[in-house]
Structure 1
Amino acid sequence: MKRADAFAIEPGWQLLLLDIGLSPQLVLKHAQLPSDLFARQQAQLSIDDCFRLWISVETLSAQLPRPLPLLIGDSLSFEMFSPPLVAAGCSPNLNVALERIAQYKRLICPMRIEIQRDEQETRLRLRCEGYDLAMPTVFVATELVFFTQLARLATRQPIVPRRLCMPALPDTLDPYTSYFGRRIERGELPELAFAASDAARPFLTENPALWDFLEPNLNQRLSELQQSASWQQKVESVLIELLPSGESNVQSVANRLALSPRTLQRHLADEGLRFQHLLNATRERLAKRYLSQSPLAPGEIAFLLGFRDSNSFLRAFKTWTGATPGEFRRLDSNRTGAI
């Protein structure tokens, strides 16, 4: 199943920022995104841009009177968001809504949702797609608030989740405990669980006619996403998985894609690419991301990129950028601090 590499920016973003007391222009400037982004028709963000936007919002919201995810929850309405989320609101119950969101979420957000159900509860776990760093805490907390608020808005009942987990907890937990009715726990993955009876509770917002209208368009968008996969995207996706194991040669990548190396190289040549060039470009992109957005030491980064030793990584990075990793990190830190 192909993940999306670009995500639509809904008009509701600008309204939402204004409603919670943030300047849309300041948020975009801090995230190093175009100042007219919210005014563009069919504007899209890359995966990295998407998380830069969330990191910017998280940073600038530090002085708000309440935690940002809770302010967003207060402002939620089905009309503010895109068709995949409206489709959730017109579902017959939370179980169906979660299945629909899991199916269409990747059209609007770099996230995969895993759902498990038994006689006691419905559980969902969230995994990021195409992003190698930890998800911003505010992003994860907002997702937990969204699913809880969806259940409450659609049923008009004060539903309390059975369990909430986050890899990194918010600095202040009490407001979240008050909102959810339960304390957030630390867990390896973001997780949310609802009692089976609450997940099956009828949605008062159910609208089969609206769903019949939305479903064909959503399925068409999924079909276009699947067909749009380039060989470059496929190889990059496999490389990101294989690099830490050191198995980043063309044979390993071809095996993962169920091709011969010659066939894979032919597909890349059709797109004007060579495997080694793509490997170097992927390593360079990831190295810059790790240096800019994580405290990882060069030796740790060398391991994640599949280099045998730190010196090999240092030489390669100097070839790519003309700077050492330390010099690049200092320059990037100075540039970010000047925003």
Structure 2
Amino acid sequence: MKTEISNRIKIPPGFWEGVHQLGIAAQDIARIARLPLSIRTEPFVTTDQYFAIWRAYSDLIGDTAIGIIKLATAFETAKYPPTVLAPYHARDYRDALNRMARYKQLCPPESLRMAEEGERCTIELEWRNAEQVGPPMLVGVTLAFLLELGRRGTGQPLTAQLVEFSSTMGDVQALEAYFGCPIRIGAAGNRLTLHRKDLDRSFISYNEELLEILTPALDRSLDEHQHSQSMTKTVKWIMKRSLTGGRPDIQAVAKELSISERTLQRRLTDENTSFKQLLTQARHEQAREYLADPSLEIKEVAYLIGYEDQNSFYRAFRLWEGDTPSNWRAEHLGSNALSFHT
């Protein structure tokens, strides 16, 4: 089910390392994006959170074009995730780009469509969900990185033929200097057009042995993502990331999944559960997880799982565990945790 894929986005550590090199702190991005400070260590984020992170980086860096160029060049090769490491160690630029397009399915919410014709190779960036279009900074970095991949892999200062953006991108002259070609603003889509002859260039970073390890593992991951996933797990995952300071409603979750409220209810019924049951389970599971963290106070735990009133959290927790949050924590963490947090 594609909804599972499109709402589980993993931000590579190289992103955070890159912005750090540019003098931008992760906590500042989290603050502007209005996300918890733990966002850097979260295994996955939602599409909305992902876009908010990119907008925050854009706000902090200032000019969009400068932000694109700085991050694309600052991203260290050693920090590439496996989905990029395989293209970087491909046989040639064509192989690398084909691998990028294929494994981009594991890195939503954008996808890449590649076409070769005449002397051109055009790569168009598309969005899995047409209603959720990414910010200009993300668009620019994605296309810049495709050229950066070719430059690093071949060891040559490759240039593009043309780059088209649907939105304004800041300092166009800076972008033209980086891409080495004209930049078209206000286009119908976001496209990078390369010289087709460059695709035949061999990669000096080619590593056959590493590819023999990475390729089967990535292909298996891709197959797993393309198979149907439990709607129950998907909804609960979204709930857990939407609990802080409030209670997620079925309309919001259905919108996140790009389906109707009625369809969501029907699918949950088919899996012998309901939205209300899953919300209770999500809160219960998150409560246990947060209480196991001695750095969090009880009132913080209540807020993090969507209770504005600490007493309501106490009542709910008694129903779940037959005990108070304080006593549960004492039993699981020891008397020191009890004396410190109650």
Change over 3 Å in CA distance of 1:50–1:201 after alignment to 2: same
Give the partner amino acid of 1:165: E
Matched, 1:130 2:121: no
Counterpart position of 1:120: 119
Counterpart position of 2:271: 270
Contact 1:85 1:101 in 2 (8 A): yes
- Cα distance, 1:20 vs structure 2: 1.1
Counterpart position of 1:33: 35
* Residue pairs, 1:227-266, within 5 angstroms: 227-231=227-231, 240=258, 265=266
Looking at structure 2, the residues matched to 236 and 93 of structure 1 have their Cα atoms a distance apart, in angstroms, of 43
**Residues 145-170 of structure 1 deviation map (CA, whole Å, 9 limit, x = unaligned):** 10111111111111111111110021
Give the partner amino acid of 1:106: Q
Matched, 1:13 2:15: yes
Give the partner amino acid of 2:189: L
Give the partner amino acid of 2:69: L
Looking at structure 2, the residues matched to 58 and 88 of structure 1 have their Cα atoms a distance apart, in angstroms, of 27
- Cα distance, 1:249 vs structure 2: 10
Change over 3 Å in CA distance of 1:87–1:120 after alignment to 2: same
Counterpart position of 2:54: 54
- Cα distance, 1:140 vs structure 2: 0.9
* Residue pairs, 1:96-245, within 5 angstroms: 96-130=95-129, 132-186=131-185, 187-231=187-231, 240=258
Looking at structure 2, the residues matched to 48 and 266 of structure 1 have their Cα atoms a distance apart, in angstroms, of 23
Looking at structure 2, the residues matched to 134 and 226 of structure 1 have their Cα atoms a distance apart, in angstroms, of 22
Counterpart position of 1:288: none
Contact 1:48 1:131 in 2 (8 A): no
Deviating more after overlay: 226-235 vs 23-32: 226-235
What do you get for the CA RMSD once the two structures are aligned? 2.9
Secondary structure of residue in 1 paired with 2:9: strand
- Cα distance, 1:238 vs structure 2: 11
**Residues 239-271 of structure 1 deviation map (CA, whole Å, 9 limit, x = unaligned):** 848xxxxxx797xx89xxxxxxxxx94774325
Looking at structure 1, the residues matched to 273 and 258 of structure 2 have their Cα atoms a distance apart, in angstroms, of 21
Looking at structure 1, the residues matched to 78 and 272 of structure 2 have their Cα atoms a distance apart, in angstroms, of 41
Change over 3 Å in CA distance of 1:131–1:44 after alignment to 2: farther
Looking at structure 1, the residues matched to 137 and 268 of structure 2 have their Cα atoms a distance apart, in angstroms, of 40
Change over 3 Å in CA distance of 1:238–1:67 after alignment to 2: closer
Change over 3 Å in CA distance of 1:130–1:161 after alignment to 2: same
Looking at structure 2, the residues matched to 169 and 183 of structure 1 have their Cα atoms a distance apart, in angstroms, of 14
Looking at structure 2, the residues matched to 266 and 113 of structure 1 have their Cα atoms a distance apart, in angstroms, of 30
**Residues 87-121 of structure 1 deviation map (CA, whole Å, 9 limit, x = unaligned):** 11011122111111111113233111111112312
Looking at structure 1, the residues matched to 77 and 272 of structure 2 have their Cα atoms a distance apart, in angstroms, of 41
Give the partner amino acid of 1:29: R
Q: Please, which runs of 5 or more residues in structure 2 have no aligned partner?
A: 236-252, 276-342
Change over 3 Å in CA distance of 1:52–1:198 after alignment to 2: same
Count of residue correspondences: 254
Counterpart position of 1:80: 79
- Cα distance, 1:237 vs structure 2: 8.5
Change over 3 Å in CA distance of 1:185–1:268 after alignment to 2: farther
Contact 1:121 1:193 in 2 (8 A): yes
- Cα distance, 1:231 vs structure 2: 4.8
- Cα distance, 1:185 vs structure 2: 0.6
Change over 3 Å in CA distance of 1:10–1:134 after alignment to 2: closer
Looking at structure 1, the residues matched to 105 and 119 of structure 2 have their Cα atoms a distance apart, in angstroms, of 28
Secondary structure of residue in 1 paired with 2:206: coil
Secondary structure of residue in 2 paired with 1:117: strand
**Residues 127-184 of structure 1 deviation map (CA, whole Å, 9 limit, x = unaligned):** 1123624321111111121011111111111111111111002121111111111121
The higher radius of gyration belongs to 2
Q: TM-score, normalised by structure 1?
A: 0.67
Looking at structure 2, the residues matched to 267 and 72 of structure 1 have their Cα atoms a distance apart, in angstroms, of 42
Change over 3 Å in CA distance of 1:236–1:131 after alignment to 2: farther
Secondary structure of residue in 1 paired with 2:6: coil
Q: TM-score, normalised by structure 2?
A: 0.67
Counterpart position of 1:330: none
Contact 2:15 2:75 in 1 (8 A): no
State percent identity of aligned pairs: 22
- Cα distance, 1:50 vs structure 2: 0.7
Give the partner amino acid of 1:270: E
- Cα distance, 1:63 vs structure 2: 6.9
Q: Please, which runs of 5 or more residues in structure 1 have no aligned partner?
A: 242-247, 255-263, 275-339
